[in-house]
Structure 1
Amino acid sequence: MRPDPAIFDHTEGIIISSDDSDVIEITGSASQRRSSTSFDPRLDELPVIESRRTSAEDILNLTLELSPLEQSAPRRYIRIAMALPWAQHDNFLSMQLEEVRKFIGEAFFKTLQHWPFLGGCFYPSTRDASKLKLRYPENLDRRELTRLVRIQAPDESNTIIRGNLYRLEMETFGKERFVWEDDPEYGDWFPPVTVKISFVDSVIVLGFAFSEVIFDGEFLQNFFRQFTRNTYGANDKPFGVGRRSLPEVIDGKGDMELFPCYDWSCGIPEYPTPRKNLRCQVITLDSRAVQGLYGAVQEVITSEKTGGVALYEDCILAMFWVAIMRTRFQNGRFGSRDLGRVNYSVPGASHTRNLRRIDPQHCSNSTITVVASCSAQDLIRAPNDPHDSLPRQMRPEDVALAAQLLRSALQEFNVHHLCQLTALKNTTSPIEERAAYERALRRHTDSLTFENWICYGTDYAARIPFAQDQKTFFFPCNDHIREGTAILLPRKGQYWGNENWNVCVCLAEDDLGMLLHNLEREGWWKSNK
């Protein structure tokens, strides 16, 4: 017996009662974002919340200080879908959905309690609309989850997915899997984090949307770890907001020469490829092949005595750097005299600590972008004569060079760079800074952007009712990942396991087709078809 479809729509909200009972009720459409206990992020005026608390200011009565890095961050969301195989039983589906809603809602609520400001809302300053404020409640009420959590009822289950969920098409994880399908507009109110629960092909999907204003990669890692702990009933003490570590703000404008990720000229940015011409896919690399690649790279480094360093993730991303630029050379988008570059986005705070240690209490945005660059002739052995062709296969020497360049770019970043970047962003308008970044990045021709999500996964999966695996799979949003992006996804065995490695790539359709052909021909990838 299936639940009455009339009680579900594609954007429903959850209300968990504020007492200790297990009452759960379904609210109306979240697309309107209106209820007696929530406010519409797109409203110009703050509506009445309820009779006992007369306005949003009464609820959001505390303000979090934002750093210059956070003030200048894009007002958009990092959309990450957490997926697990899920046993759907049509005979008692209503009971399953109720238990899942209650369980995930409670774990999410406890995570917000750990970082209280995540239960608040960003809004533009009345004095300067280019500046944001983050207001949050002193005591978070469970009923306020209505604006942060949504649920989408499953369709009839036809396909049963087992094993590697990375075989799923990326179209499965489109913008409809998230509460905010589009990024906030200028002047909008918007929350730091939301989650949408949905189901597809016997898979449960938790679509998290994290605001780039407050989250960097290290904070994302801490959030997922805490959320997972909360699904197991952890009772951790809330984080003291006053202990939030922020970069030092120094006097001056900052040294622009330290940051090649910007182009401060008045040049015209590269015209973006239409979304309809882009294609995204998760490419799985066999762990034994990666181990072989890593060993070959280490042999090159040792024999050439470069003194360089290359980790596993460096070798994998370097291989994609070389492979993609070879593809673009073959398709006429990357020339023999061009300079290939990678913008590598990482949390800067972790690169200012001794031994690059992760801070489990880090809860701010310190995202920085380091740049690795290399000539086409050194990167892919591009011939001087355009009538000549590339070497038939990638060489270990090429990957070793690219891997060392990536690692060197990361190692060079230190606390001095972070202070200079903070000063730069503190004295530059966010619009000007973002324009300079996009101007320097030629996503369709000579540039790529890399992200490393390896640490987002935990050593064990979140405990979700009726989930059928101890592994959590992570996907970016298919509709928001941008051209030229390669994301190294988490693994079941984490860093030292023997599981395969997975990389999500977004390229122009003809580039991706050629890339897959080349990887299959060289033995790196096997088609599922």
Structure 2
Amino acid sequence: MAQTTSPISSILSPFDLVMGPIYVRKLFGFRFEHPSRRTQACDALRQGLLATMTQHPSAAASIMLVKGNAPSVIPSPNPSTMELGPPVFVVEDIAEAGFPFTYQELCEQGVPPSLLQKELLSSLSNHPTCGELCPAMGIQVNFLPRGLILCVAFHHTVFDGASMTTFLRALGANIKAERAPADCLVGPGALERLPHSRSATPPPKSSDFPEYAFSQAPMPRASSPSATARVLTFTADKLAALTSEVAGLLQGTADPSDFFSTADCLGGLLWVAVMRARQERLFPHAMTKWAIAVNARHRLDPPLPAEYFGNAVVCGLATLQISQLVAADESDISVVRVACAASRIRQAVVAVDNAYIRRRLALFSSILDPAEIPIAAKRALRMPGTGLDFSDWREQGADIEFAIPGAGSTSPDWVRKTWSANEGAVNILPRKGGRRGSADWEVLLALSVEDMENVCSELTLGGWVSRVVE
């Protein structure tokens, strides 16, 4: 990649420093019947990527992690003329590399997450390390019999979920319009950044932020030597019925204007189910935490534009005692418990207002070594024990019209992430229609094998889930 001689780290905001220096890899599946059109598809993706990098120059940058300091971001002097080669743009025939299934067979199995290995599907299969110059993103075009799997890897220092979606929508629009880089200008919000400056006021006390634990305490250990990840499918009708029942139970106990979303209720159900699976090794009066990734753009005053390109996420935190979610003498999941959890989740989201966000921006700016921040979050959440980390990806890609030549549809048949068994992680996967419509809801859940067996068994026997795929 082209480089400048001096790193420019000032374009990073306090939001960017919170994110762990990892690649988030998203997979988009398409039917692709005619091998003769592979070259045309790759040419369209390559030109579309150059055009989109021209509109969003941060995507063409390189990032270097610096031990004890903020990462350095080295921009490309002219994204429109970049030479797109590995690892930024790669084409693979994964059948030749040993992938054992056709696209149809993969879909019939429910696209099992265990088959979606980053080493096979991603051009950026390793997370960045200190001193290594890494691209902000990379695309690998994976062909298999009668199918195409598009893998896009995003460096989390530069992209949050909203920025990833903004970039992918622009990529699809550029492919569809056959735009060349010369036809593109830098997009609105693409270069805007919150300043990263040290405040003259005393830094906030880190102990005032329950979502972080800045200490020398050991990191939580995994509950077992093995963890797994599965996709749980919930029908829209089942979740609509649950949401209606929860609203009825909470009527009269909350402000009449309070709103409880389907995601709140689904989160409450999963929170209860996982704590039930773990309850034998937890104390009833221990505190359990449900961390929620909240988009701060429209919650700031003044707000950031929706197309603000970079990270703008803070952690909302719902907390309850274990005994408020589970009881040893309850044989089934109680909707009353789910309602309690859903209510607390909604309260945590509502609490993320301008003042809440500004306090956290001040905290982030006061930390000398940004690498301490994601570590402190993991230490506080204790994901293998009492904590769960939730992200809602419903609106992050299922409806994007990539318009890849030769693909059987303009938008993907499904969206996944590469295999990751990060115990305690909960992701609502991208969904057709986003927050609306009748499509099923898919949740990617990662737990220890024992906890997963208990959760899936209870949710299946209770009629909550329609399918589980590993």
Give the TM-score range, shorter chain: 0.7 to 0.9
Indicate the residue corresponding to 1:403 in structure 2: 342
What amino acid is aligned across from residue 112 of structure 1 in structure 2? M
Indicate the residue corresponding to 2:294 in structure 1: 346
Q: Does 1:278 align with 2:227?
A: yes
2:316 pairs with one of 370, 374, 399: 370
For residues 341-400 of structure 1, give each alpha carbon's deviation from its aligned partner in whole angstroms, at most 9, with x where no partner exists: 11112332333258xx883421021221121111122122x2xxxxxx342222222222
Indicate the residue corresponding to 1:159 in structure 2: 102
Counterpart-to-counterpart distance in 2, 1:248 and 1:189? 22
Indicate the residue corresponding to 1:322 in structure 2: 272
Q: Say which is worse superposed, 226-235 or 497-506, in terms of deviation.
A: 226-235
Query: Is the Cα contact below 8 Å between 1:333 and 1:444 reproduced in 2?
Result: no
Q: Report the CA distance shift for 1:512/1:202 in structure 2 as closer, same or farther (over 3 A).
A: farther
State the number of aligned residues. Answer: 455
Q: Does 1:238 align with 2:186?
A: yes
TM-superposed CA distance for 1:257, in Å, is 4.5
Counterpart-to-counterpart distance in 2, 1:358 and 1:291? 32
Matches within 5 A, 1:165-176: 167-176=110-119
Counterpart-to-counterpart distance in 2, 1:272 and 1:291? 34
Counterpart-to-counterpart distance in 2, 1:476 and 1:496? 22
Q: Report the CA distance shift for 1:394/1:463 in structure 2 as closer, same or farther (over 3 A).
A: same
For residues 14-33 of structure 1, give each alpha carbon's deviation from its aligned partner in whole angstroms, at most 9, with x where no partner exists: xxxxxxxxxxxxxxxxxxxx
Indicate the residue corresponding to 2:89 in structure 1: 149
TM-superposed CA distance for 1:196, in Å, is 1.1
Indicate the residue corresponding to 1:106 in structure 2: 47
Counterpart-to-counterpart distance in 2, 1:527 and 1:215? 32
Query: Is the Cα contact below 8 Å between 1:103 and 1:464 reproduced in 2?
Result: yes
Indicate the residue corresponding to 1:264 in structure 2: 214
What 5-or-longer segments of structure 1 have no aligned partner? 1-37, 39-48, 50-55, 383-388
- Aligned residues: percent identity? 20
Say which structure, 1 or 2, has more relative contact order (CA 8 Å, 6+ apart).
2
Q: Does 1:414 align with 2:353?
A: yes
Indicate the residue corresponding to 2:416 in structure 1: 475
Q: Say which is worse superposed, 445-454 or 144-153, in terms of deviation.
A: 144-153
Indicate the residue corresponding to 2:132 in structure 1: 188
Q: Say which is worse superposed, 248-257 or 452-461, in terms of deviation.
A: 248-257
TM-superposed CA distance for 1:72, in Å, is 4.8
Counterpart-to-counterpart distance in 1, 2:25 and 2:246? 33
Q: Secondary structure at the match of 1:304?
A: coil
Indicate the residue corresponding to 1:69 in structure 2: 15
Q: Secondary structure at the match of 2:332?
A: coil
Counterpart-to-counterpart distance in 2, 1:175 and 1:163? 16
What amino acid is aligned across from residue 253 of structure 1 in structure 2? P
Counterpart-to-counterpart distance in 2, 1:242 and 1:489? 26
Indicate the residue corresponding to 1:42 in structure 2: none
Counterpart-to-counterpart distance in 1, 2:402 and 2:389? 29
TM-superposed CA distance for 1:279, in Å, is 0.9
What amino acid is aligned across from residue 283 of structure 1 in structure 2? L
Indicate the residue corresponding to 1:79 in structure 2: 25
Query: Is the Cα contact below 8 Å between 2:70 and 2:370 reproduced in 1?
Result: no
CA RMSD across the alignment: 2.8
Q: Report the CA distance shift for 1:350/1:515 in structure 2 as closer, same or farther (over 3 A).
A: same
Counterpart-to-counterpart distance in 2, 1:390 and 1:470? 51
TM-superposed CA distance for 1:333, in Å, is 3.0
TM-superposed CA distance for 1:508, in Å, is 0.6
Counterpart-to-counterpart distance in 1, 2:468 and 2:310? 40
Q: Report the CA distance shift for 1:416/1:306 in structure 2 as closer, same or farther (over 3 A).
A: closer
Q: Secondary structure at the match of 2:84?
A: helix
What amino acid is aligned across from residue 517 of structure 1 in structure 2? S
Counterpart-to-counterpart distance in 2, 1:218 and 1:105? 22
Q: Say which is worse superposed, 424-433 or 510-519, in terms of deviation.
A: 424-433
TM-superposed CA distance for 1:511, in Å, is 1.0
What amino acid is aligned across from residue 187 of structure 2 in structure 1? F
Q: Report the CA distance shift for 1:393/1:61 in structure 2 as closer, same or farther (over 3 A).
A: closer
Q: Report the CA distance shift for 1:158/1:272 in structure 2 as closer, same or farther (over 3 A).
A: closer
Structure number with greater Rg is: 1
Query: Is the Cα contact below 8 Å between 1:378 and 1:398 reproduced in 2?
Result: yes
Indicate the residue corresponding to 1:288 in structure 2: 237
Counterpart-to-counterpart distance in 2, 1:166 and 1:406? 33
Q: Say which is worse superposed, 467-476 or 170-179, in terms of deviation.
A: 467-476
Counterpart-to-counterpart distance in 2, 1:519 and 1:178? 33
TM-superposed CA distance for 1:288, in Å, is 1.0
Counterpart-to-counterpart distance in 2, 1:71 and 1:373? 25
Counterpart-to-counterpart distance in 2, 1:504 and 1:123? 30
Counterpart-to-counterpart distance in 2, 1:448 and 1:319? 13
Q: Does 1:448 align with 2:391?
A: no
Indicate the residue corresponding to 1:513 in structure 2: 453
2:250 pairs with one of 301, 306, 316: 301
TM-superposed CA distance for 1:172, in Å, is 2.2
Query: Is the Cα contact below 8 Å between 2:190 and 2:307 reproduced in 1?
Result: no
Counterpart-to-counterpart distance in 1, 2:245 and 2:145? 40
Query: Is the Cα contact below 8 Å between 1:154 and 1:199 reproduced in 2?
Result: yes
Q: Secondary structure at the match of 1:474?
A: strand
Q: Does 1:203 align with 2:147?
A: yes
Q: Say which is worse superposed, 185-194 or 251-260, in terms of deviation.
A: 251-260
Counterpart-to-counterpart distance in 2, 1:206 and 1:358? 30
What amino acid is aligned across from residue 218 of structure 1 in structure 2? A
Query: Is the Cα contact below 8 Å between 1:453 and 1:487 reproduced in 2?
Result: yes
Query: Is the Cα contact below 8 Å between 2:13 and 2:196 reproduced in 1?
Result: no
Counterpart-to-counterpart distance in 2, 1:493 and 1:264? 40
Counterpart-to-counterpart distance in 2, 1:273 and 1:279? 12
* TM-score of the two chains, using structure 2 as the length reference: 0.88
TM-superposed CA distance for 1:485, in Å, is 0.7
Q: Report the CA distance shift for 1:110/1:394 in structure 2 as closer, same or farther (over 3 A).
A: same
Query: Is the Cα contact below 8 Å between 1:218 and 1:350 reproduced in 2?
Result: no
Counterpart-to-counterpart distance in 1, 2:322 and 2:71? 42
Counterpart-to-counterpart distance in 1, 2:209 and 2:300? 16
Indicate the residue corresponding to 1:6 in structure 2: none
Q: Say which is worse superposed, 457-466 or 281-290, in terms of deviation.
A: 457-466
TM-superposed CA distance for 1:421, in Å, is 1.7
TM-superposed CA distance for 1:432, in Å, is 3.1
Counterpart-to-counterpart distance in 1, 2:9 and 2:338? 48
Query: Is the Cα contact below 8 Å between 2:30 and 2:147 reproduced in 1?
Result: yes
TM-superposed CA distance for 1:457, in Å, is 2.2
For residues 465-506 of structure 1, give each alpha carbon's deviation from its aligned partner in whole angstroms, at most 9, with x where no partner exists: 232245422212213x51111100121122211111110001
Query: Is the Cα contact below 8 Å between 1:64 and 1:117 reproduced in 2?
Result: no
What amino acid is aligned across from residue 4 of structure 2 in structure 1? E
Counterpart-to-counterpart distance in 2, 1:166 and 1:222? 30
Q: Secondary structure at the match of 2:210?
A: coil
Q: Report the CA distance shift for 1:64/1:233 in structure 2 as closer, same or farther (over 3 A).
A: farther
TM-superposed CA distance for 1:271, in Å, is 1.4
